[in-house]
Structure 1
Amino acid sequence: MLDDKQADRAIKALLKHVEKKKAQSKDKLIDDDQAVWLIVATKKFSELSKTKPCRIPLEHSLLPLDAEVCIFVKDPQKQHKDLLVQKKVKRIKKVIDVSKLRNNYKPFQAKRNLCDAYDLFLADDRVIRLLPRMLGKTFFKKKKQPIPVNMTRSNLQAEIARACESTYMHLSPGTSLPKYTHRIDLKLHLTSTRSAIKIGTTSQTPAQVFENLQTALPHIIDKIPSKWKNIQSLNLKTSDSVSLPIYNSLPDEQKMIKTKEEAIKYGMEADEMVVAEDK
């Protein structure tokens, strides 16, 4: 389905653009390594949001071995610190249990400082559902949602390594459609769900980013309902670049809403709108 040559050209153009921008800029901060994102747009929105992200394998890890990794665990904290030492897990720099997270990181600034302090956040999968409320929006805006790991695995070292060496896709509902209060023929434009998956960094070579894309894409498509039939577009971009298309599908025919039941199904307020009538 994907044109490899087009994808390869897009990756090379994207990395060349970043290098050119670095050379022209006097701002030293632009030398920081940037993420290369694969933007996946689907034709139909997802009705369910998943707290747990989908793990996607990569050919080349995005995290350096000296990356700062923090993990959220069940109480008590010391028990899990001892477990990590016992299992010879060396990549974790900070362990925070739920009680300390709740009590020590209530202020917004404390949450923001915590978010900025580490490259990756992991979490015991038994507490993952508690974290969105305690962490707030900062972690999600910066795409640093904690990654679930199974702390009961016999080979905990391998479990943590897989978590650090993979990338992740977060599935969420599509954008809500507006409420209509005028008598019109209402057509439903199915809003696409857009997922951003980190598949490379600007410090990697074009070949490494391309190999990551080739490894990740089949797993990404497999996680999406209806697979390739539901893919509207695939684009590559960095945080401050334009999107470069590598795949586009022709849009499906618009669907007419004819009943209040259909309006409710797609998240609209049926009592505040007039649905289209058969003609």
Structure 2
Amino acid sequence: MLDIKQADKAVKALLGYVEKKGQAKSQLMEEDQHVWLIIATKKFSDESKAKPHRIPLKHSIAAPDAEVCLFVKDPQKDYKRLLEEKNVKGVSRVIGVSKLRAKYKPYEAKRQLCASYGMFLADARVVTVLPKLLGKTFFLKKKQPIPVDMTKGDLKKEIARAIGSTYMHLTSGTCTAIKIGLTSQSAAEITANIETAIPHIIEKIPRKWKNVQAINLKTNDSIALPIYNSLPDEGTTRIVVPGKKNASVVDVDEEDEDEDEEEDEDEDEE
């Protein structure tokens, strides 16, 4: 399990580094940077998922002046009216699927759209068609649209919750990066975000803590500071591979073997 005191020490060290770097340039850092939580797993995920997992935070990392763009079903005017009726604040622009398809077809138009807003939301009913319409730029910049339920009675709360959370984008690799704080926040606020988010993050990882190799903390241009490293599993068997002068050693998780055997049995029964 994560030692929150160790996490707090890493947060303070990271913010100290950012401050020192700013002083070395004889000026404060002009741009607020994100603090990232880097989760390294022991095994690859089965598949990448376009739909991100919402992770609640104690302190929002959305900049007060950040502009938010919302993708909706057609006609878009109906949803603009709906936002006004529900007194929803924080959404700067509403774009319907038809307008997105017609106006933002060229790559450069998509790139400019991606750079124009700090966050993108989308009606959950159109999320599946967006990857093809938006292209890879949004995904490389980790600006995938966040699904929201536009049919909610309390739409104002739904939008506010989406803007105030962070998101976990599972990939087919063994490393996942999650925004957990801002360098403008205090160490206590970032640590509180880590403490709030970790249980929700672990819940989304296959095999949960057993599959977590390490957790690190970093900014875009800093070194990674470790806040958690897994210990060898008690159920690990060491197998010597013969046939070489210096025989190699392979660690095998007995629990995984049992799971594989169960899967084989299930397949045989089918």
Question: Which ranges of structure 1 fall in alignment gaps of 5 or more residues?
Answer: 175-192, 256-261, 263-279
TM-score by length of 1: 0.81
User: Counterpart in 1 of 2:183?
Assistant: 202
Name the aligned partner's letter for residue 16 of structure 1. Answer: G
Task: State the distance in 1 between where 2:101 and 2:201 align.
Answer: 34
Cα deviation, residue 26, structure 1: 6.0
Task: State the distance in 2 between where 1:40 and 1:156 align.
Answer: 32
User: Counterpart in 1 of 2:204?
Assistant: 223
98-107 or 244-253: which moved more? 244-253
Name the aligned partner's letter for residue 197 of structure 2. Answer: A
Task: State the distance in 2 between where 1:63 and 1:246 align.
Answer: 24
Q: How does 1:235-274 map to 2 (within 5 A)?
A: 235-250=216-231, 253-254=250-251
Task: State the distance in 2 between where 1:5 and 1:95 align.
Answer: 43
Task: State the distance in 2 between where 1:26 and 1:118 align.
Answer: 30
Name the aligned partner's letter for residue 24 of structure 2. Answer: Q
TM-score by length of 2: 0.84
User: Counterpart in 1 of 2:194?
Assistant: 213
Cα deviation, residue 83, structure 1: 0.7
Task: State the distance in 1 between where 2:18 and 2:119 align.
Answer: 24
User: Counterpart in 2 of 1:179?
Assistant: none
Cα root mean square deviation, aligned: 1.8
Name the aligned partner's letter for residue 2 of structure 2. Answer: L
Deviations 1:147-188 (A, max 9, x none): 0000000110000000001000011212xxxxxxxxxxxxxx
User: Counterpart in 1 of 2:123?
Assistant: 124
Cα deviation, residue 53, structure 1: 0.5
Name the aligned partner's letter for residue 37 of structure 2. Answer: L
Q: How does 1:46-195 map to 2 (within 5 A)?
A: 46-174=45-173, 193-195=174-176
Deviations 1:32-88 (A, max 9, x none): 000000000111111122221100000000113332010001111101111111111
The alignment partner of 1:162 has SS state of helix
The alignment partner of 1:52 has SS state of coil
The alignment partner of 2:184 has SS state of coil
Indicate how the Cα distance of structure 1 residues 231 and 74 shifts in structure 2: closer, same or farther if over 3 A, else same: same
Task: State the distance in 1 between where 2:138 and 2:15 align.
Answer: 27
The alignment partner of 1:31 has SS state of coil
Cα deviation, residue 25, structure 1: 2.0
Question: Which ranges of structure 2 fall in alignment gaps of 5 or more residues?
Answer: 237-249, 253-259, 261-270
Q: How does 1:4-83 map to 2 (within 5 A)?
A: 4-25=4-25, 30-83=29-82
19-28 or 33-42: which moved more? 19-28
Name the aligned partner's letter for residue 213 of structure 2. Answer: Q
Cα deviation, residue 19, structure 1: 1.0
Name the aligned partner's letter for residue 108 of structure 1. Answer: Y
Name the aligned partner's letter for residue 43 of structure 1. Answer: K
User: Counterpart in 2 of 1:187?
Assistant: none
Identity level (%): 62
